[in-house]
Every structure is written in C-alpha cells, then in structure tokens.
Amino acid sequence: MTIHRRDFLYGLGATLGTVAFNALAQAESRSPTAPRAQQVAGRAKNCIFLMMEGGPSHIDTFDPKPKLKELHLQEFVRQGEMKSAMESGKRYYVQSPFAFHKAGECGADIATNWEHLAGCVDDICFYRGCQVDSVNHPTAMYQMNTGNRFGGDPAIGAWVTYGLGTLNQNLPGFMVLPEVSYAQGGAANWGNGFLPAHYQGTPLRPKGSPILDLSPPAGITREHQRENLDFLATLNQQHAALHPEHADLSARMEAYELAFRMQSQVPGLLDITQETPHTLAMYGVDQEPTDAFGRRCLLARRLIEQGVRFVQLYAGTWDSHDYIARAHGNLVRQVDRPIAALLTDLKQRGLLDETLIVWSGEFGRSPDNGVRGGTAYGRDHNPHAMTIWLAGGGVNAGHTIGATDEMGATAVECVHHVRDLHVTLLKLLGLDDNKLTYFHGGRFKQLSQFGGQVIDELLS
C-alpha cells in the first residue's frame, strides 16, 4: 500500500495532535473564542497595534542619517547592491528636513517634532533591522498584517485570537479602529482568511454609529430579540444537523448571539465622556489635530481593559513622495500626543507590562527621490529599511536594536525578514508559531508561512 506524502503528514498531525485537538474542540464547543492558556511563557496578555499606513520614513522619524546632509541634492549613484526602491530617471539624495536629538536616559534618536513621545522612549524598543518583500502598498500591507503578500490569509489579530481566545465573551476578540477610508487592501488586512469566521477583526466605524444596527428598531424589546434568536437558532441547528460540512453556519449563529450581547455592553464602552477631563485632554480629545486619533487611542485602552485581546488602529497616509516636511509634520502632530498618552495611561494603570504595543508601517522610505530634482524633500518606498518600535509586554525597553547603513538605504545589523518579527510578536504573547497552526489546503499553515525565528534581541 502506497502512502502519499500529504496523507502521511495529515495522519501524523491527526495522531500526535489528537489530545490537543480534542481539547481545542471541547473549548470551541463552549465558545470558539473561550480563553486559552499560553503555549509558551509570555508576559503580554493583549496587543495594541498602531499601523501607520503608507510607509513612514525611518530617516525622518527615528533613524537620523547625517551623511545625507553631505550628499543633499547630489545625483544618486548606486553603490554595490544598493538600489532605490522605485529607481527611474535622474534621482538625487535628500537630507531630512527634521532635526534630531537624543531623548530619555537611553539616549534614543528621535526627531524633535515628536515632542510628547520623546518622554516615553525609555519604555520603547526601537528596531531598525526589519525587511519586507514588496514595494507596493496593498501587497506590503497584506504582508505586514497577514504574512502573505497576496492577501487571503488570516491577520495577525485573527491568529492571536485563535490561539488565546478573548477575555470577554460579550465583545469580539479582535477589533479594528480604521480611518474613514480603509487602508490599501481594505478589510482583508484584518480578515480571518482560512480560519473560522469567529476570528476576523470587527471594525468600528469612525463616524456615526460605530456599529450599524447596534440598537434594536423602535418597539422591539430585548425579550422580543431573544425569542427571535432562539427560534432562528432552532432552525439553524436543524439545518446544521443535516449539513455538518457547512462550518460557516455555526460561526454565523455565534455572530448573532455575540451581536445580541454587544448591544448591552458596547454603547457604554464607547462612551468616552465617562473619562475624566484630564484624561480626555491628555489624549488630545476635542483638540485639533489630535481629536480623531486621540479618540481611537483612548478607545483602544478601554477595549483592552474590557478583555479584547487584539486592537489595531490605523493612521495614514504616510506616503510622502513630495514635501515630506509638511506631510510627515502634519501626521506627527496628529499622532504624537495620543500615542504618548496611550503609553503613559497604560503605565499609570499598571497595564503596560501586560500589553504589547507595536508601531509600524508597511515599509520604510528611500534616501533619494526624483521629484523636482529632490528639492521637494520627498522619498520613495523602501522595503529594505524601516523602523518599527515595540513597548510593554516583555520587550527590551530603552534599547535600539539593529541598524541601517549610513544613508538609510538598507538594514545592516540584526537583519530579519518580517516573518521573524511576526514570530517574535507571537512569542511575546505566549504563542509558538510552530504550534499555532491550522490545517487548510492540504497542509498545516502558520502566520510565518513556513517558519521563522524569534528575534531574541527584542526581548527583555
């Protein structure tokens, strides 16, 4: 009898993993998002991911390059393998329009227009060694969020919720706070991919009712809703018994129940007027230009407090091909105060140590540009160099890890692909990328796609 490789691997997983699978199945019979134990030791219990969509420039935020001042407006010349990410036509080196200084006891490099975040750098680990594969926004966003450049895979928040569940069964385990316009690539950036639908991100609308149909129609009481849901559940259960292969039906049934529970909890949770005037002012609420992002940061803290496992916030667009002093300058003013307030607030409440904060874009930016001979101080996309920073949750706070070359074109120290960053984030949350798998399409799949290594330098 010939045993094919796929059958062998599936059988291996089905035999060696039987005990774990049965335990998981029993947990999901109670609730697919029931809390689960960590797979490995990890200090972080939840995560807030700050996604700066569009590609913030490391050279103009947290990775100063004095060499570019010497080369400013000189024609770009490729050196060795160094190449501009979007090289075409005549190009010129561009210095940063921002001044830098050393901040905190750790002496972290930070542009001076980050006035508030500068006071938090001793709680931050800056990482300069990450690289990605794509130079295009949608595919790079997919890779940063899901590990797969081409979309369709589960977002990191979906993987974390699949692995750990959520601490509040009245709220989704993975919630997303987007801007009015979704990031490039759309909702697939927080989708469940091939995982069950329970684990997809739930976006809150930035304007109007955060969730449509959150309140029942006039004249419909919760007792009426409960009776309707019970009747619908009876019909769905009968259908599920006849069609056990339709796994999406159970997810839809649970979604109805979750929506019913959310009606009683979400309105109060989203009411930030319950916060003190001092807290609202600290986040920049009802102030410009910080109001919109400040509200999202404050809401992220409230969601984490209520047991939501993974919250992702979006701010953009950082795609500054032109006039980076104005473009990046405006964006920093929008997010600087709220992010510093989030870190400070979590620390004061004793939550920072168990909450992993991640700040990232989808790639960095190049040291050169071709727009108006470089005089507009713009930059192109750069997948070879970027700065990502982490805080809380067991990270190596007060340190800068890795380095880019003297022009910021490519990472040269502690260089790791983004898959290793993903493996490290899972580790901080008590998950093992090699154990956090899901059988789909004939093989066991994982966030890293095919494995990676923990970046030990980022851990405390």
The pair of structure tokens assigned to 301 is: 């803290």
Residues 265 and 243: their CA atoms lie apart, in Å, by 34
Give the bridge partners for 47, in sequence order.
Answer: 310, 356
**Residue 89 above 90 pLDDT?**
no
**Residue 409 above 60 pLDDT?**
yes
The confidence score (pLDDT) of residue 237 equals 72
Residues 164 and 149: their CA atoms lie apart, in Å, by 25
More confident residue, 406 or 211: 406
**Residue 429 above 90 pLDDT?**
yes
Could you give phi then psi for residue 217, rounded to 5 degrees?
A: -60, 160
Average pLDDT, the chain: 85
pLDDT in tens, 328-360: 999 999 999 999 999 999 999 999 999 999 999
The pair of structure tokens assigned to 319 is: 């795609």
pLDDT in tens, 38-52: 999 999 999 999 999
Angle at 198 between CA 170 and CA 350, to 5 degrees: 50
**Residue 244 above 90 pLDDT?**
no
**Residue 200 above 50 pLDDT?**
yes
The confidence score (pLDDT) of residue 220 equals 59
Given the structure tokens 């009481």, which residue do they identify?
A: 221
More confident residue, 84 or 65: 65
What are the residue ranges of helices labelled H in 271-415? 277-283, 291-305, 324-348
Maximal CA-CA distance, the chain = 74
Candidate from 86-100, 238-252, 440-454 with smallest mean pLDDT: 238-252
Residues of the chain with CATH 3.40.720: 39-210+272-458
- pLDDT band (50, 70, 90) for residue 443: very high
Chain centroid, CA 66 distance in Å: 31
The confidence score (pLDDT) of residue 15 equals 40
Residues 91 and 94: their CA atoms lie apart, in Å, by 9
The confidence score (pLDDT) of residue 250 equals 64
**Residue 9 above 80 pLDDT?**
no
Q: Are 388 and 360 in contact (CB under 8 A)?
A: yes
The percent of residues above 90 in pLDDT, for the chain, comes to 65
CATH fold for domain 39-210+272-458: Alkaline Phosphatase, subunit A (3.40.720)
Q: What is the DSSP string of 392-419?
A: STTB-TTEEE-EE-TTSSSEEES-EEHH
Question: Which contiguous run of DSSP H or E holds residue 315?
Answer: strand 310-316
By CB neighbour count within 10 A (0-12 exposed, 13-18 middle, 19+ buried), where does 442 fall? exposed
pLDDT in tens, 283-336: 999 999 999 999 999 999 999 999 999 999 999 889 999 899 999 999 999 999
18-30 and 5-16 helices, crossing angle to 10°: 70
Amino acid at 420: D
Mean pLDDT of 212-228: 58
Given the structure tokens 């699978």, which residue do they identify?
A: 21
The confidence score (pLDDT) of residue 121 equals 98
The percent of residues above 70 in pLDDT, for the chain, comes to 77
Our CA dihedral for 281, 285, 287, 290, rounded to 10 degrees, sits at 110
Candidate from 12-21, 185-194, 407-416 with smallest mean pLDDT: 12-21
Mean pLDDT of 382-394: 97
Half-sphere exposure (CA, 13 Å, Cβ side) for 424? 24
Sign of the Cα pseudo-torsion (185, 187, 190, 194, in order): negative
Residues 428 and 454: their CA atoms lie apart, in Å, by 10
**Residue 252 above 90 pLDDT?**
no
- Would you call the peptide bond into 289 cis, given omega within 30 degrees of 0 as the criterion? yes
